Amino acid sequence: MNQQLWIKFLNKKLVKPGTRVYAKVISKGFSNENIEIMKELSVLDANEDGGIGHFVRDHTENFTFNYGSIKEVDSMTPERLAKAYKIK
């Protein structure tokens, strides 16, 4: 997702605490190594650079995400969400 679209989503309050995003995050692998994986997160806080969310299935571990790593917002691609809300 590009930053301009992300900021528009923030300004229109389409991304707020509780919003679900599917984004690439850094997690720990079996050997305790950092790995990049895709996770569905419930947003706790968001700003112009990205935000913090927790994994929706266990609510125990928080992850930081960048706006550029987001593939879906509330189960829609950013482009589809923008079109639904007539955001250009």
CB 4 within 8 A of CB 12: no
Domain contains 62? yes
Q: What percent of the chain is predicted at pLDDT more than 70?
A: 100
pLDDT tens profile 37-86:
999 999 999 999 999 999 988 878 899 999 999 999 999 999 999 999 99
Domain contains 87? no
pLDDT tens profile 2-45:
999 999 999 999 999 999 999 999 998 889 999 999 999 999 99
The whole model's pTM is what?
Answer: 0.90
Which CATH number fits the domain that encloses residue 22? 2.30.30
Tally of structural domains, the chain? 1
Calculate the alpha carbon distances from 26 to 59, 62, 65, 78 in Å: 16, 11, 8, 21
Q: Which residue range(s) make up the domain with 62?
A: 3-80
Domain contains 23? yes
